[in-house]
Amino acid sequence: MAVSIQSLLSPLVKKDVLADLYTLTGLALGYPLALQDGEPVPAVLDVVVGWICDKFWNPLALPALRAVFLDYSAGDWLSLVAWLIYNRPRILAQSATGPIVVENHAAIFSGTIAVGQVRIRSTVTGKTYTNTTSGAVTAYVSGPFPVPPAALLSYQVLLNFEADEVGTPSNAQPGDISTTPVSAPSGIFVQTNASALLGSDVESDSNLILRARAAAASRSVGGPRKAYLDAALDPIGAFVSRNLTPPTIWGTAAPAILRVRIQEPAGSAPWTPSRAYALSDTVTNVEKLYIVTTAGTSAGSGGPTGTANAIVDGSVTWMYVGTVAVWLASASGPSGGTSSDVTSDVGKANVAIQMFCVPPGVTATVAAAVALSLDLGTITINVTAESLVTAEEARATATAALDAFFSTLPIGGARAIANGQGWVYANKVVGVIEQGAGVITANISLLVADVAVNVNQVVVPSHAVPIQVNIVSQGT
Partner 1 sequence: MLLADIAGLLPQWMLTTARRGFAGLMAGQAALVDALTEAIQEGRLAVLPGQLDVPGGNGFDNFDALPLIGRDRGIRQGLLESPFDYAARLRAWMDEWAASATPFEVLDQLAAILSPNPPVLRLVNGSGTWWTRSTSGDFILQTANGDGFLYNTNGSLSTASTNAHAWVWDTLADPKPYGFGDDQRFWIIIYAPCNAPLLSGISGTIGDGRLIGMGKGGPDATTIGTVAPSIETELIRNIVQEWRSAGLRCSHIIITFGAAIDYFNPDGSSPDYPDGTWGWPCKVIANIMSPARVTYARFWRAEPGGVAGSN
Residues 198-257 contacting partner 1, CB under 8 A: 212-214, 216-217, 219-228
Nearer to partner 1, 111 or 359 (CB): 359
Residues 6+ away with beta carbon under 8 Å from 34: none
Residues in 71-110 that interact with partner 1 by CB under 8 A: 71-72
Nearer to partner 1, 36 or 186 (CB): 36
Contact 220, 208 (CB under 8 A): no
Could you say which residues in the range 276-335 bind partner 1, by CB under 8 A? 284, 286-287, 322-324
Task: Pick between residue 170 and residue 323 the one whose CB is nearest to partner 1.
Answer: 323
CB of 321 to partner 1, least distance (A): 12
Which is nearer to partner 1, 362 or 448 (by Cβ)? 362
Among 3, 60, 249, 465, binds partner 1 (CB under 8 A): 3
* 190 is an interface residue for partner 1 by CB under 8 A: no
Bridge pairing between strands 156-166 and 128-131:
antiparallel
Q: CB of 159: closest distance to partner 1 in angstroms? A: 44
Binding of residue 449 to partner 1 (CB under 8 A): no
Return the residues of window 36-75 that contact partner 1 according to CB under 8 A.
39-41, 44-45, 48-49, 52, 56-57, 61, 64-65, 68-72
Which residue number, 221 or 465, has a Cβ lying nearer to partner 1? 221
Q: What is the closest distance, in whole angstroms, from the C-beta atom of residue 372 to partner 1 in the complex?
A: 23
How far is CA 82 from each of CA 68, 87, 206, 267, 277, rounded to the nearest angstrom? 9, 6, 12, 31, 43
In degrees, to the nearest 5, what angle opens at C-alpha 294 toward C-alphas 290 and 299? 70
Q: What are phi and psi of 474, to 5 degrees?
A: -95, 0
**Angstrom distances, CA of residue 206 to CA of 66, 90, 374, 378:** 15, 11, 25, 31
Fill in the DSSP letter of residue 427. H
Longest Cα–Cα distance of the chain, Å, equals 99
Q: 212 or 394, CB closer to partner 1?
A: 212
Integer Cα distance of 465 and 212 in angstroms: 39
CB 66 within 8 A of CB 73: yes
Q: Which is nearer to partner 1, 103 or 230 (CB)?
A: 230
CA dist 440 and 195 (Å) reads 46
- Among positions 339-358, residues that touch partner 1 (CB under 8 A) are 357-358
Cα–Cα dist 68/79, whole Å: 11
* DSSP assigned state of 61: I
Position among 363, 380, 384, 445 found at the interface with partner 1 (CB under 8 A): 363
- Binding status of residue 361 toward partner 1 by CB under 8 A: yes
Q: Smallest distance, Å, CB 19 to partner 1?
A: 12
Minimum gap (Å) between residue 446 Cβ and partner 1: 31
